[in-house]
Structure 1
Amino acid sequence: MTAPELRKLQSHTHEAPEKHRRLRLLRRGLERDWIARTGCWSRVKRVLLTYDQMQAYGLPAAEGKRDDPRWPAFAQRYGFDVDQPVQWEVEALEPAELQRLVLEAVEAHIDRSQLARQLAVEQRQRRQLADFLRQFDGSGGW
């Protein structure tokens, strides 16, 4: 399902329980689709901006989406006004901190021995390419 189709589903589904069910199924489907399309991932782990991070970083709130099915539960859990949705954007983080958080989330999943082997292959390929290019003289000939 495309992003416009998702937005249409979100805005045109009127019955809340059915909407929640469809969105949960859609999210699971998007994760399965990502796995199928990439062909190299066995699972997807969402890395989100948490409420605790929002508090710790003092991120500014923006007006939230009134039709977000997650908002009422979030508002009740953290003491917000259900009728005044707010949201926080991960883009409000400093770029260096955002990079640190992403790398921290990915770090546990890196196979260091495989990474070392791949870096060695790339280094060998760079040397081979440099050696090949040195065969040319200044006039473009051999």
Structure 2
Amino acid sequence: MTPQRMVGDFDCSGEDIERDWVARTGCWSRTERVLLTYDQVRAYELPATKGKQGDPRWPAFADRYGFDPRRPVQWEVEALEPAELQRLVLAAVDPYIDRDVLARQVAREEAQRRALEEFVGRWGAASEGPS
């Protein structure tokens, strides 16, 4: 079964969403984090923000990644440059895109766009009426 792909912040709550999603939905047996991962946080040198004080998941998370257990931190996916965020998401879904289906859908949307433009053009001409 294909895993559920997810995008989220890198923090103890975000990491737990993956476990919770599998437990609650019954649709997937596992999830795969596309971003934000620990390696991406390091590679992009993203700034940490203050984490949630008192989150019971923080100590285990801190231990797993070598963080100070007294100072909760988190990283927001929005800290990535928008173009890079888009590139990473598109790269993650690209292997699952059926190019034939996509091409048919794009052609259908183009036909609908042309029909709407034609309709709007006729509407404007009809509302002007005779002078």
Q: TM-score, normalised on structure 1?
A: 0.61
Summarize the Cα distance change of 1:58–1:66 in structure 2 as closer, same or farther, 3 Å threshold: same
Summarize the Cα distance change of 1:82–1:27 in structure 2 as closer, same or farther, 3 Å threshold: farther
| Aligned positions, number | 112
Distance 2:83 2:38 in 1: 20
Distance 1:49 1:111 in 2: 26
Structure showing the higher strand proportion among its residues: 2
Do structure 1's residue 49 and structure 2's residue 45 form an aligned pair?
A: no
Find the counterpart in structure 1 of residue 98 from structure 2: 111
> What is the letter of the counterpart of residue 128 of structure 1?
A
Summarize the Cα distance change of 1:121–1:72 in structure 2 as closer, same or farther, 3 Å threshold: same
Give the Å deviation of 1:110: 1.7
Find the counterpart in structure 2 of residue 140 from structure 1: 128
Superposition RMSD in Å: 3.3
Distance 1:48 1:70 in 2: 20
> What is the letter of the counterpart of residue 79 of structure 1?
G
> What is the letter of the counterpart of residue 41 of structure 2?
M
Higher relative contact order (CA 8 A, sep 6+): 2
Give the Å deviation of 1:105: 1.8
Summarize the Cα distance change of 1:70–1:105 in structure 2 as closer, same or farther, 3 Å threshold: farther
Q: 2:68 aligns with which of 72, 81, 87?
A: 81
Identity %: 60
Summarize the Cα distance change of 1:98–1:122 in structure 2 as closer, same or farther, 3 Å threshold: same
Distance 1:47 1:73 in 2: 22
Q: Which runs of 5+ in 2 are unaligned?
A: 1-12
Do structure 1's residue 100 and structure 2's residue 75 form an aligned pair?
A: no
Q: Which runs of 5+ in 1 are unaligned?
A: 1-9, 11-19, 36-42
Find the counterpart in structure 2 of residue 59 from structure 1: 46
Distance 1:128 1:24 in 2: 46
> What is the letter of the counterpart of residue 91 of structure 2?
E
2:47–2:75 contact (8 Å) kept in structure 1: yes
Distance 1:114 1:93 in 2: 31
Distance 1:116 1:134 in 2: 27
For 1:73-102, what per-residue CA distance to the aligned partner results, in whole angstroms no more than 9, with x for missing partners?
222122211121111111111111111112
Q: TM-score, normalised on structure 2?
A: 0.65
